[in-house]
Amino acid sequence: KAAVRETARPAGSLHLRAAEVLEGNWTGTSTVPSRGLYPHQWSWDSAFIAIGLRHLSPLRAQTELETLLGAQWGDGRVPHIVFNPSVPLDAYFPSPDFWRSSTAGRSAGAPRTVQTSGIVQPPVHALAAWLVHVADPGLSRARSFLPRIYPRLAAWHRYLLHRRDLGGGGLASVVHPWEQGMDNAPSWDAPLARVAPAPARSFRRADLDHGAAEDRPTDLDYGRYVRLAADYRDGGYADHPTGATGSGGRRADGFAVEDPAFNALLIASEHALARIARELGATGTARHARAERLTAALVDRLWDPAEGMFFCRDLRADGLIPERGVSGLVPLLLPALPRGTADTLVATLHGPHFGLAGATRLVPSYDLAGHAFDPHRYWRGPAWFNTNWLLERGLRVHGEHARAQGLRGALLETADTSGFAEYVDPYTGEACGALGFSWTAALTLDLLH
Ligand code: 9WN
């Protein structure tokens, strides 16, 4: 094993440089995605970070997840940001005084002592918790890591599968583009167009102090993000699942979308939760069965056979959103995907719209031939390391080892030459956004092991 690791580490040790990035971004209890642009704890970032950290320090990886889950709300939601009280308010927008979690979120059970946002992010956490456990089962058992976090993870999934089943078809919905994690993906353009933007003078973007404006979402996007988040907050962060008393899921206003990546991650995490339950003495059978039922619901509601990929469903307009985003490939991760569906996804990944192993080095976030494609603008074209890591894993799940190996090599090389960039031009690998980005470093470490 040691010899294998040596050959996987090129001169100058990519491993060491990735470890240094994570060391520099560690605060003592969690890891910031990036010191300048994102100076707090983010939910899905922490899950990806823990997956890499487990190779450096299983204790830090466990702590990363424990800190995040320590900020969980009473209704089960895991907030997308946990704010660091020692960071100045104007360092990131929207700051705690915008979300007002401990007051506006009181009836949803927001914690009193820690400030958080009120929206969520993709549920990668149970998957991360399981991978962290298997990296050092002895330490995990000695610290009762799984017994302590299992109830929290179970409550998190319960929240998503019940309070967020806005469409009534069994899948979880997102109520804000920030929840899905691919903020300005073209898939959101149509549902966002119905949202009246908040006036530009009513807020100040802190992201432009650190990132180039042409690599970031536009001011108009931000106006809409702010309006949606403020409306959710002013409604006490209450959710309105179909069948609940009140207005129900099919209101004409607002934003409610079933996203393939968000749901695929929930399903992959449900499989992981089954393994955790088993480790804790239960059978896990019911959870595996639920994950399989959810896989079937995903195919039923979001798969488009003619296009050979998954699409987002806009619940307000009641239809699939015809934009090809990387989110529609992420379900490749799922072991219970029908064989033909998996084969079609692999073909789409390597076809003209995503160009893997042909036109592009890494899988772009959006259709190379799409009308909104821009190789530098955030989630409208650049390649991201977390989505590529998920696809590398998905290829292996479906036995595509040679293709997975090719993608792994491209990821390691691009992470290295880009200085662990937040995202890169999918054709050239040119760095965009922040450098020394935590999940890029963490997933590099994971691929090296
Ligand atoms: C809003 C932290 C986060 C990631 C998201 C990415 C970006 C935030 C922002 O940064 O979103 O949550 O301010 O742009 O889109 O995926 O979790 O790295």
Taking the centre of ligand 1 as the mean of its atom positions, its distance from the CA of residue 92, in whole angstroms, is 11
Q: How far lies 180's CA from each of 348, 412, 436, in Å? A: 22, 25, 23
- Write down the pLDDT at residue 12: 57
The single-letter code of the amino acid at 317 is: A
Among this protein's residues, is 374 annotated catalytic?
Answer: no
Residue 75 near residue 159, CB atoms below 8 Å: yes
Taking the centre of ligand 1 as the mean of its atom positions, its distance from the CA of residue 19, in whole angstroms, is 22
- Write down the pLDDT at residue 379: 98
Which residue has its alpha carbon closest to ligand 1 atom 16? 181
How wide is the angle at C-alpha 347 spanned by C-alphas 47 and 173, nearest 5°?
40
Which residue has its alpha carbon closest to ligand 1 atom 8? 178
**Closest-lying ligand 1 atom to the alpha carbon of residue 378:** 15
Kindly name the residue from 183, 221, 279, 314 that is annotated as catalytic. 183
Sheet holding 257-258, edge to edge: 257-258, 312-314, 319-321
**Closest-lying ligand 1 atom to the alpha carbon of residue 439:** 18
Q: In this prediction, what percent of the chain has a pLDDT beyond 90?
A: 92
Q: What is the mean pLDDT of the chain?
A: 94
Q: How far lies 280's CA from each of 138, 318, 411, in Å? A: 14, 41, 35
Kindly name the residue from 259, 422, 425, 446 that is annotated as catalytic. 422
Residue-wise pLDDT tens digits, 25-38: 999 999 999 999 99
Report d(CA 95, CA 335) in Å as an integer.
Answer: 39
Taking the centre of ligand 1 as the mean of its atom positions, its distance from the CA of residue 148, in whole angstroms, is 28
Q: How far lies 189's CA from each of 215, 221, 313, in Å? A: 17, 9, 13
- Write down the pLDDT at residue 243: 58
Residue-wise pLDDT tens digits, 239-251: 998 755 444 444 5
The predicted complex's ipTM stands at: 0.99
Which residue has its alpha carbon closest to ligand 1 atom 10? 38
Among this protein's residues, is 323 annotated catalytic?
Answer: no
Residue 94: pLDDT over 80: yes
Q: What is the mean pLDDT of residues 253-260?
A: 92
Residue 129 near residue 276, CB atoms below 8 Å: yes
Residue 9: pLDDT over 90: no
Residue identified by tokens 């309006």 is 227
Which residues are 424's β-sheet partners? 383, 431
Residue-wise pLDDT tens digits, 77-93: 999 999 999 999 999 99
Q: Which of 121, 178, 390 to mutate to test the pocket of ligand 1 (most atoms within 8 A of CB)?
A: 178
Which residues are 304's β-sheet partners? 309
**Closest-lying ligand 1 atom to the alpha carbon of residue 216:** 14
Helix, strand, coil share (%) of the chain residues, nearest 5: 50, 5, 45
Which residue has its alpha carbon closest to ligand 1 atom 12? 178
- Write down the pLDDT at residue 215: 87
Residue-wise pLDDT tens digits, 179-195: 999 999 999 999 999 99
**Closest-lying ligand 1 atom to the alpha carbon of residue 379:** 15
- Write down the pLDDT at residue 253: 64
Q: What is the mean pLDDT of residues 363-389?
A: 98
Taking the centre of ligand 1 as the mean of its atom positions, its distance from the CA of residue 121, in whole angstroms, is 10
For residue 210 the two structure tokens come to 């650190």
Please give all residues whose beta carbon lies within 6 A of any atom in ligand 1, as ranges.
Answer: 33, 38, 42, 44-45, 80, 178, 181, 183, 207
**Closest-lying ligand 1 atom to the alpha carbon of residue 34:** 18
Residue 427: pLDDT over 70: yes
- Write down the pLDDT at residue 248: 44
pTM of the model: 0.96
